[in-house]
Structure 1
């Protein structure tokens, strides 16, 4: 039987791959989540997290989710994956996302998320694979 963590991470990844990040946030982020962007606090709590992300997500004409290289540590309830999604804005411009996402889960919800891009993402990937 799958644990709640495994069921929920699978469902979250499916929502992200379906281009539904707001639904993933609403379903799987804890009320007291702390989110980091390149090790700087991005949002403290679900309300702030959603309010900061919603304008960008809603401005997208379409979102093509592409979550790859999922690594799961079931014992510690940690999920790590690459976000290679893309979105098209209202002007028709395509934006490619390229980020590393590390999530700590607790009681079936994401309690901490660390998102890395650019050089820091490369550094974290090297650390992970060494």
Structure 2
């Protein structure tokens, strides 16, 4: 079985749109527009969350618990065949976790214009 490659130029255009939506504070719109129905998302070594419904609930719970959001700055991004790797500086206060300031790397696997797998790497 062969997988059709997502052209890097297409991924760059999608990522530019994602950047605009982040700047407008429309993070959940990114999720609805660019994440597949069977998406698998994973934080570090934690068990993966499978499916758009389960991941939507996880994302909504995260944002509902944000007390203050100070920064989400893109530091680096790389594009490959069906993959976007991005490094972010994040700074926020969460109701359950307190003040969080850290760097995070996101590795996204893409298929047919949708994220099918995303894993986040960051210090504990």
Query: Could you tell me how far apart the structure 2 residues matched to 1:89 and 1:40 are?
Result: 19
- Give 1:72 shift: 0.9
User: Where do 5+ consecutive residues of structure 1 fail to align?
Assistant: 120-130
1:103-118 correspondence runs (5 A): 103-118=108-123
How far apart are the structure 2 equivalents of 1:34 and 1:78? 14
Q: Give the corresponding residue for 1:102.
A: 107
Is 1:67 the counterpart of 2:74 in the alignment? yes
Equivalent residue, structure 2, for 1:77: 82
> How many residues were matched structurally?
115
Deviation beyond 6 Å, 4+ runs, structure 1:
none
Match of 1:45 among 30, 48, 51: 51
Give, in whole Å, the separation in 1 of the partners of 2:74 and 2:34.
16
Structure 1 position 3, deviation (Å): 4.4
In structure 1, the residue matched to 2:20 is 14
Instruction: Name the structure with the higher strand share.
Output: 2
Partners of 1:18 and 1:86 in 2: CA distance? 17
Shift of 1:62: 4.1
| Alignment root-mean-square deviation, CA | 2.6
CA–CA distance in structure 2, aligned partners of residues 8 and 40 of structure 1:
28
Structure 2: distance between partners of 1:69 and 1:18: 20
CA distance in 1, matches of 2:50, 2:34: 15
Q: What CA deviation, in whole Å up to 9, does each residue of 1:44-77 have, x standing for no partner?
A: 011111101211212224433212201111xx12
